[in-house]
Chains A and B, each alone.
Chain A
């Protein structure tokens, strides 16, 4: 059974760095072809893909967030991470991690709400 769960700070101030953790089970990021992605969704709005990391440590980022994103993984502990630097109120959203399967997300976490506020 594949499960994913996100965790994060809940609330942070503008200019701080947002650190998110995705803890998963039922698959391994050391297995050929596996990947984990991060997606966010402001309240009442659509989905925005942020970043992917693959079993071979290949990484892809949404260029709209320029150089603010860093994705990484800890294969031995079945975790993936996302950092977003210099946050502002526009980064307020629910953040999801999801397993990647052939160009799509077949299992999603429950999401973690992040609020950026001074």
Chain B
């Protein structure tokens, strides 16, 4: 199985601050990576697909990058509504796997 390791597990950021979340795959996933945001009591929402493509309707302050086994999600200017838990997911090989999640809070 491909293991997905996210870091950090939690972080807090001030309004306007740049936030970066990392996701490492246990083998090359050839950019087959998605990022999701989950707010309390809600289902996950797709933010980024193909490692760097922004899903329709997602604010442009979100961006994804990376290749091979190392990927990152960046929020260029932290907003109140960005609080939540962020997950990465690989869909290259079965079983599809998710990272453990990163909890982002407003400082």
Knowing A105-B44, A108-B44, the reply to whether A60 touches B89 (Cβ < 8 A) is: no
Q: Does A74 contact B (CB under 8 A)?
A: no
Roughly how many angstroms separate A111 CA and B55 CA in the complex, as a whole number? 21
A103 and B43: CB pair below 8 A?
no
Q: Main SS of the interface on chain A?
A: strand
Partner of A103 from B32, B45, B100, B101 at Cβ < 8 Å:
B32
Most buried by A among B42, B49, B87: B49
Chain A: interface residue total (CB-CB under 8 A): 23
Q: Main SS of the interface on chain B?
A: loop
Within 8 A of B (CB), among A70-118: 96, 101-111
Roughly how many angstroms separate A41 CA and B29 CA in the complex, as a whole number? 24
Knowing A104-B89, A106-B55, the reply to whether A49 touches B43 (Cβ < 8 A) is: no
Within 8 A of A (CB), among B80-101: 87, 89-92, 94-101
How many A-B Cβ pairs are below 8 Å?
A: 57
Q: Which residue of B lies closest to A107 (CB)?
A: B46
By size class, the interface of chain B is: 20 to 34
Roughly how many angstroms separate A102 CA and B44 CA in the complex, as a whole number? 17
Interface string of A58-74 (1 = CB under 8 A from B): 00111110000000000
B87 and A47: CB pair below 8 A?
yes
Which residues of B sit under 8 angstroms from A101, Cβ to Cβ? 49
Task: Tell me the B residues contacting A by CB distance below 8 Å.
Answer: 32, 34, 36, 42-46, 49-50, 55, 87, 89-92, 94-101
